[in-house]
Amino acid sequence: MKKSKGMRTETLYKIFIYVTLIALVITILIPVAWVFLASIKENKEFYGSPWTLPDGFYFQNFVEAFVDAKMGDYLLNSVIVTGLSLLILLVVALPSAYVLSRFEFRGRSLLNSFVKAGLFINVSYIAVPIFLMLLDWDSVLKVMFGDGMLLNNRFILATIYASTALPFTIFLLSSYFQTLPSDFEEAASIDGAGYYKTMISIMFPIAMPSIVIVILFNFLLFWNEYILALTLMPGDNKTLPVGLLNLMAAERAAVNYGPMYAGMVIVMLPTLILYILVQKRLTQGMTVGGVKG
Amino acid sequence: MSKKRSRNIFIAICVSPAVILFTLFMVLPTIEVFRMSLYNWGGFSKTKEFVGFNNFKLLWNDMNFIQSFQNSVLLIVLVAIITIIFAVFFAAVLTKEKVVGGNFFRVIFYIPNILSIVVIAGIFSAVYDAKSGLLNSVFGVLKLDTFKQMWLGNQDIIIYSIAGALIWQAIGYYMVMYMSSMASIPESYYEAASLEGAGKFKQFTSITLPLIWNNIRTTLTFYIISTINLSFLLVKAMTGGGPDGSTEVFLSYMYSQAYGNSTYGYGMAIGVVVFTFSFALAAIVSRITKRDVLEY
């Protein structure tokens, strides 16, 4: 008798657990899936119940978003900026993380504490000062060359993205390099390999797992970033999230919802595909870094 | 000697690009925030006037700033408490119970964290829409018409709507963090406890919670920093601080003063206050939550 009562509460507990789990799944998946469905709805379908399925595949929304709202151009810009940022970041961060974690030299601990302090500097605070700085340098360039070129510049934006990601990336890479035994360098030195060769052809390949994590995290960071892009790129070279902001404002004013949801799909689809491909690495890697923007 | 020299050159070549970029685009702008907060500088004019702490004195009587302060503190408290409860609960369930499809749940719960905050703003505009929003229509279907609200129009509840979106975004991230620290607790502890007749809840409060306490403490700092940051990004994309300043938060007010209104000095003074406040809050929270670390 007593045992069956225990079984009963056990079953009730299990049911409770699954109900809560499924409730959270629904609250996460339904809004995201709804946006996908809304992106192929015609405008007249937005009157009435939001739960009706699309009448058909209204592809015109995507055409409008890509062409009229220039999301196609912005997609290209985002690809360029994100790619460039990742490239700059890796070229700059990898050697410094390697040296900071595996070489003894004067000023090393100072640099390391700079990196840690940098983890606390938030992009949102410094977006406007960076803008003013570029404006200032631009006015100097204008006097010298007759033209300013630092604002609305994809390369500059990419450099700044890479710079703001440096503390987190160096922190993560150094903590990986620190775990490696010094045998690698000793063996390489016996084989007659110099510092550069040892670093590039031996140490970097070994660090591949954490390099992949760095790329994944920073891809998401750069792809989704909008406050720097909004502040530093007031011209036509917008990135996708900024383009989406404009699109959302414009379509809401025009009561034309389809292209707006199509724009949202364009922004989130690449990250969702990437996530589904590598979700295991991402959620595991997160515990290595443990830093949130 | 030449060996030592080539080693030093190698170190310099490796470190200097990072040092240069970090100094130019992180250190300098941060110093600028503090320096400019002492100036009265109206926009694109070249005239900067040193005014000492006058900007801070003005802030003290700025009702808009005080409103943004209240909103930010409310959001930090709400988001931290509710997210911790949900994230710890789901983390415990997914690590300790043999849930069918546990990996599936983990993957789904993490999805909001990979979405751009602009997309999240768009999603929640659709959810909260007064006429054809998902939330109100669910209440309509359930015949709970009294729960229907102008989620983004009513000034009394809009800040809670913002909190909802932030919590939705945060649960999965923190759940994964807590899961990894729970996974490192040895199974034998739970076996011993259940032999002594401790129930699930007792096991949770006397084994799991004390052993992940340090992890929770660390995340409290994250909650403070990231809520200040993300609430700005979300509010800017979703409501623009409106209606009538009812969703204005710390950094959105700073941004609108510095970039929109072009009163840079004043905007930077807000930045300094927020920066100091978040550090002080993190330190206080860290102090009062300090417990003896339990080893295992």
Q: Do B171 and A51 touch (CB under 8 A)?
A: no
Residue A129 lies in a domain: yes
**Quick one: average pLDDT of B231-246?**
87
Minimal Cα–Cα distance from A95 to chain B, Å?
5
**Quick one: average pLDDT of B78-88?**
96
Residue A149 lies in a domain: yes
CA angle A108, A163, A273 (to 5 degrees): 120
Q: Do B177 and A268 touch (CB under 8 A)?
A: no
Q: Do A28 and B93 touch (CB under 8 A)?
A: no
Residue B189 reports pLDDT greater than 80 = yes
Burial class (CB in 10 A: 0-12, 13-18, 19+), A227: buried
CA angle B92, A274, B181 (to 5 degrees): 20
Segment among A92-101, B85-94, B140-149, B283-292 with least mean pLDDT: B140-149
Residue A14 lies in a domain: no
Closest residue in B to A289 (Cα) is: B177
* pLDDT on residue A292: 42
Sign of CA dihedral A170, A171, A173, A177: positive
Tell me if B99 sits within 8 A of B91, measured CB to CB: no
Closest residue in B to A283 (Cα) is: B176
Q: Do A100 and B15 touch (CB under 8 A)?
A: yes
Cα B62 to its chain centre, rounded Å, is 25
CA angle A74, A79, A85 (to 5 degrees): 120
d(CA A167, CA A169): 6
Residue A51 lies in a domain: no
Partners of A89 in beta bridges: none
**What are the DSSP calls for A88-148, one per residue?**
HHHHHHHHHHHHHHH---TTHHHHHHHHHHHTT--HHHHHHHHHHHHHHHHHHHHHHHS--
Q: Do B114 and A30 touch (CB under 8 A)?
A: no
Element at B39 (helix H, strand E): strand B39-41
* pLDDT on residue A293: 39
Minimal Cα–Cα distance from A25 to chain B, Å?
7
Pick out chain A residues at pLDDT < 50.
Answer: 1-2, 289-293
Segment among A265-274, B93-102, B169-178 with least mean pLDDT: B93-102
Residue A10 lies in a domain: no
Minimal Cα–Cα distance from A12 to chain B, Å?
13
Residue among A89, A31, A101, A52 nearest A268 (CA): A31
Tell me if A287 sits within 8 A of A210, measured CB to CB: no
Q: How many domains does chain A have?
A: 1
Closest residue in A to B218 (Cα) is: A290
* pLDDT on residue B281: 93
Q: Which residues of B touch A218 (CB under 8 A)?
A: none
Domains of chain B: 63-288 (1.10.3720.10)
User: Three-state DSSP class for B263?
Assistant: strand
Residue to substitute from B16, B41, B119, interface A, most A β-carbons within 10 A: B119
Q: What is the pLDDT of residues B99-158, one digit of tens each?
A: 888 889 999 999 999 999 999 999 999 999 888 888 888 888 887 877 888 888 888 899
* pLDDT on residue A291: 43
Residue to substitute from B7, B9, B22, interface A, most A β-carbons within 10 A: B22
Q: Which residues of A touch B99 (CB under 8 A)?
A: 17-18, 21
* pLDDT on residue A279: 81
- pLDDT band at residue B274 using 50, 70 and 90 as cut-offs: very high
Rounded to a whole number, what is the distance in angstroms from the first to the last CA of chain B?
A: 50
Nearest-Å Rg of the Cα atoms of chain B is 24
Residue among A270, A195, A272, A111 nearest B15 (CA): A111
Element at B50 (helix H, strand E): strand B48-50
Residue to substitute from A45, A74, A88, A96, interface B, most B β-carbons within 10 A: A96
Residue A269 lies in a domain: yes
**Tokens 């515990």, located at residue:** A287
Residue B234 reports pLDDT greater than 60 = yes
* pLDDT on residue B50: 85
Which residues span the domain enclosing A261? Answer: 59-289
Report how many Cβ contacts below 8 Å link chain A to chain B: 238
Residue B292 carries which DSSP code?
Answer: P
Closest residue in A to B265 (Cα) is: A129
Looking up residue A190, the CATH number of its domain turns out to be 1.10.3720.10
Q: What is the pLDDT of residues B6-55, one digit of tens each?
A: 999 999 999 999 999 999 999 999 999 999 899 888 755 567 788 888 88
Partners of B50 in beta bridges: B39
